[in-house]
Amino acid sequence: MLTPTKDVAEAPQVVAIDAAQAGQRIDNFLLSRLKGVPRSHIYRILRRGQVRVNKGRIRADYRLQAGDSVRIPPIRTAARDGSSARLGAGVPERLAGSVLYEDKWLLVINKPPGMAVHGGSGLSYGVIEALRVLRPRAPFLELAHRLDRETSGCLVLAKRRSVLRMLHATLREGRMEKRYMALLRGCFEGGARRVDAGLGKNVLRSGERVVRVQDDGKPADSTFVPLRHYADATLMEVRLGTGRTHQIRVHAAHIGHPVAGDEKYGDPDFNRHMQRCGLRRLFLHAAGIAFTLPEMGTVRVQAPLDPSLQAVLECVPH
């Protein structure tokens, strides 16, 4: 578990924002600066007004401007050398062996299944916090996008803020190619099928957050391409035109072919059947990603299917 030390700053920090730091949200600025501090605590001090910009209270989505003066209150932070940060057993080894591509601008890892991309909601750490502990001398390291906790595969991180901005622009403009592999319920008939259905976030009476297909939802499109047919399942390649929360899972359920192992949107009977084949998680894997950035050229990375998922495919009846 990633835990803060008992070392507390004696006085508030005051940081002058320069042009290189301008444009980022205050919450992301604090997360990158206060390495080791849980995300939940960052948002708590923002809500309480303990963080001030130009001596005034600000919201978590405030975007910093060159010349801003940021006051950061005394706060417990993890030791810079990472000696006091405790990660779960095996986490350093899993992440150290997960690197798929790296250069001076960015890092692409094969995110392990079961690990959230960031801490919060009861989690002390996620991939980004753990990598910051493992790379204490990295001046900047930030997620370019997200994957669901149970999804494995290609996850891109930026090593420079300028690169992060370019990656975000590439995502917004639909110029990042993202390919997933998913095992869906039933025999998928016909060839490739494009699903263009808007998605909206909802909160149930229980407080659970879900995403649903809605006429007034945000535009979302996914293309499902059958790769292999089984007796009662189909292995799919899914190509995303947009990157909405739970997009593949909701679109798959919408067309009557939910993802295997999906406890939120899936078929309980099908999930139990897949459990007998050894499936212990959501069968969704970010298999490939490709994008082109100015002065960097084209980056194209593939993540091999997790051995546990490959074993499930060998068990599924043909």
Residues catalogued as catalytic: 148
Can you read off the two tokens belonging to residue 260?
């295997």
Q: Give the separation between CA 62 and CA 154, rounded to whole angstroms.
A: 29
- Beta-strand pair 152-158/284-293: parallel
Is residue 252 within 8 A of residue 284, CB to CB? The reply is no
Quick one: which of 254, 212, 252, 251 has its CA closest to 233?
252
Strand, coil or helix: what is 148? coil
The two most distant CA atoms of the chain are separated, in Å, by 66
CA distances to 9, 99, 129, 269 from 86, rounded to whole Å, are 21, 21, 11, 39
Quick one: which of 154, 153, 156, 152 has its CA closest to 142?
156
Q: What are phi and psi of 308, to 5 degrees?
A: -65, -35
Identity of the residue numbered 38: P
- Beta-strand pair 284-293/233-240: unpaired
- Cα separation of the two ends of the chain: 42
Q: Give the separation between CA 192 and CA 296, rounded to whole angstroms.
A: 32
Q: Strand order in 56-57's β-sheet?
A: 13-16, 69-72, 52-53, 56-57
